[in-house]
Amino acid sequence: MSNPNNVSLNISHDLEFIDGHALNIPTLSILNEDGDIHHGATAPDIDESTALRLYETMRFIRALDERMQAAQRQGRVSFYMQCLGEEAAVTASAAALDQDDMIMAQYREQAALHYRGFTLDQFMNQMFSNERDLGKGRQMPIHYGSAALNYMTISSPLGTQIPQATGYAYGQKIKHIDPQTGELNSAIDNITICYFGEGAASEGDFHAGLNMAAVHKSPVIFFARNNGYAISTPADEQFKGDGIASRGVGYGIKTIRVDGADALAVYAATKKARDIATTTGEPVLIESIAYRLGAHSTSDDPSGYRSKDEEANYQACPIERFRKWLVKQNWLNEEEDVKAKETIREDILAALKRAEVIAKPPLEELVSDVYDTPIPSLQRQYEQLKNHIKQHPDAYPVTAGRIK
């Protein structure tokens, strides 16, 4: 802009307000319910092995979600969150990235993590907070993270990862900036994707993060999962604007809305978004529309806040839609698919049984990692605690036997 107010000055002599819904935002849809490409749509360039990895990830995550929901009901884990209905949104977007791109997720993105290579045992060890959990048994189930897989550890406070993604991506960009001109001197090799729900997008951190990404040109793909609910609060009690996408325009960010149950649309949009981010250094906003088919978490029952009729209306399964397309491509053998599902279920049960008997972390993990090395006051508290436990070993059976 060439004026101090940084606005477009289209002088008008008509007293007219712009309507709050002036933008008529389209939703990209490529694959139909029968697994065929819509007329007039173009399928993205996706090779067989990527498409199969995408499908296998969704297939695995559906099985994991079903098993762990049941495990919570049996009292074997304290908490779980399924991603039913949103598998394609999360997996296809992760599939469109580079393995070394950073993922900063909210919590319902286990599919992206599995796509990266997080193993079944790693999932289980985290959920059982045993001593092999990368997070050392400190966070509630499903708060995964892995530096090796460039998947930032999940944090419960909603929205906090949004401005962090802006800062992280800025760091990824710095080495590509010419100090003389301030412009990019090469394409950015790795960028950040940031997932969040339409509920979390009401947090101040959302506004701060998107605005700063636009102003400072951070190569972030903001991926809003609009699944219609934030626990029990429906989206129409969350905001009045046209979804989350309309806000992107307000921040001056390139924006697209996609059908989140359509793996090909999500893949195509995210690939394109990545191209924009790596070549211009600028952020992109993707709003994915996919209904949350399951409960928010194991702690709520949706029948208390939405009707069976409504649920029946949105039952379409994103995995099934993509499976039909794969079969039509002759990339998936249906018999093997059925067999694989059976094997996955067995593997999951076996892994669950392995993880639940692995010991909890030793006592020293209570005080490690607060700082790079424990500060003196914490060392004193730790010694005191050790002595106390040694005197009352029966009261602290998890750690008493292993205190050095």
Partner 1 sequence: MAKMNMLHAINSALDITMAEHPQACIFGEDVGYFGGVFRATSGLQEKYGQHRVFNTPLTEQGIMGFANGLAAFGAPALAEIQFADYIFPAFDQIVNESAKFRYRSGNEFNVGNLTIRTPYGGGIAGGLYHSQSPEAYFAHTPGLKIVVPRNPYQAKGLLRAAIKDDNPVIFFEPKRLYRASTGEVPEEDYSIELGKAEVVTEGTDVTLLAWGAQMEIIEDAAKRASEQGISCEVIDLRSILPWDMETIAKSVTKTGRLIVSHEAPITNGFGAEIVATIQQECFLHLESPILRVCGLDTPYPLALEKEYVPDALKVLAAIKQSVEF
Ligand X SMILES: Cc1ncc(C[n+]2csc(CCOP(=O)(O)OP(=O)(O)O)c2C)c(N)n1
Kindly list the residues in this chain that would bind ligand X in the complex (CB under 6 A). Answer: 108, 156-158, 197-200, 225, 227, 229-231, 292, 296
Round to whole Å and give the CA distance between 246 and 256. 9
200: nearest Cα among 270, 107, 79, 295: 107
Among 69, 161, 172, 227, binds Mg ion (CB under 5 A): 227
Task: Select 244 or 269, whichever has its Cβ closest to Mg ion.
Answer: 244
Token digits for 315? 């039952």
**204 near partner 1, rule: CB under 8 A:** yes
**209 near partner 1, rule: CB under 8 A:** yes
Q: Which of Mg ion, ligand X, partner 1, none has residue 243 at its interface (CB below 5 to 8 Å by kind)? A: none
Round to whole Å and give the CA distance between 167 and 165. 5
Instruction: Provide φ and ψ at 235, rounded to 5°.
Output: -60, -30
Q: Is the backbone of residue 31 left (phi > 0), alpha (psi -120 to 50) or beta?
A: beta
Q: Which of Mg ion, ligand X, partner 1, none has residue 212 at its interface (CB below 5 to 8 Å by kind)? A: partner 1
Query: Environment class of residue 153 by beta-carbon count within 10 Å: exposed (0-12), middle (13-18) or buried (19+)?
Result: middle
Among 378, 385, 400, 403, binds partner 1 (CB under 8 A): 378
Q: How many CB atoms lie within 10 A of CB 37?
A: 14
x-marked contacts with partner 1 along 131-150 as a string, rule CB under 8 A:
--xxxx-xx---x-xxx---
Q: Which of ligand X, partner 1, Mg ion, none has residue 145 at its interface (CB below 5 to 8 Å by kind)? A: partner 1
Q: Which of ligand X, partner 1, Mg ion, none has residue 231 at its interface (CB below 5 to 8 Å by kind)? A: ligand X
Which range, of 226-234, 274-282, 304-312, 351-359, touches Mg ion by CB under 5 A?
226-234
Token digits for 3? 């004026």
Q: Which of Mg ion, partner 1, ligand X, none has residue 146 at its interface (CB below 5 to 8 Å by kind)? A: partner 1
User: What angle in degrees, to the nearest 10, is found between the helix axes of 48-73 and 334-356?
Assistant: 40
Q: How many CB atoms lie within 10 A of CB 276?
A: 16
Looking at the DSSP assignment, which residues form a beta bridge with residue 197?
225
Task: Select 170 or 223, whichever has its Cβ closest to partner 1.
Answer: 170
The site for partner 1, by CB under 8 A, has a size of 51
Among 50, 160, 202, 232, binds partner 1 (CB under 8 A): 160
By the 8 A CB rule, do 257 and 29 touch?
no
Task: Select 300 or 346, whichever has its Cβ closest to Mg ion.
Answer: 300
Round to whole Å and give the CA distance between 216 and 214. 6
Pairing between β-strand 229-230 and β-strand 233-234 as defined by DSSP bridges: antiparallel
SS3 at position 320: helix
By the 8 A CB rule, do 131 and 359 touch?
yes
**31 near partner 1, rule: CB under 8 A:** no
Instruction: Provide φ and ψ at 12, rounded to 5°.
Output: -130, 150
**198 near partner 1, rule: CB under 8 A:** no
Query: Environment class of residue 292 by beta-carbon count within 10 Å: exposed (0-12), middle (13-18) or buried (19+)?
Result: buried
Q: Which of Mg ion, ligand X, partner 1, none has residue 93 at its interface (CB below 5 to 8 Å by kind)? A: none
Query: Environment class of residue 211 by beta-carbon count within 10 Å: exposed (0-12), middle (13-18) or buried (19+)?
Result: middle
**205 near partner 1, rule: CB under 8 A:** yes
Q: Which of ligand X, partner 1, Mg ion, none has residue 171 at its interface (CB below 5 to 8 Å by kind)? A: partner 1
**122 near partner 1, rule: CB under 8 A:** no
**197 near Mg ion, rule: CB under 5 A:** yes
**70 near partner 1, rule: CB under 8 A:** no
Look-up of token digits 């079969």: 327
Q: Which of Mg ion, partner 1, ligand X, none has residue 165 at its interface (CB below 5 to 8 Å by kind)? A: partner 1
Contacting residues toward partner 1, per CB under 8 A = 102, 104, 133-136, 138-139, 143, 145-147, 152-153, 155, 157, 160, 162-172, 174-175, 177, 179, 182, 204-205, 207-209, 211-212, 215-216, 368-372, 375-378
Contacting residues toward Mg ion, per CB under 5 A = 197-199, 227, 230
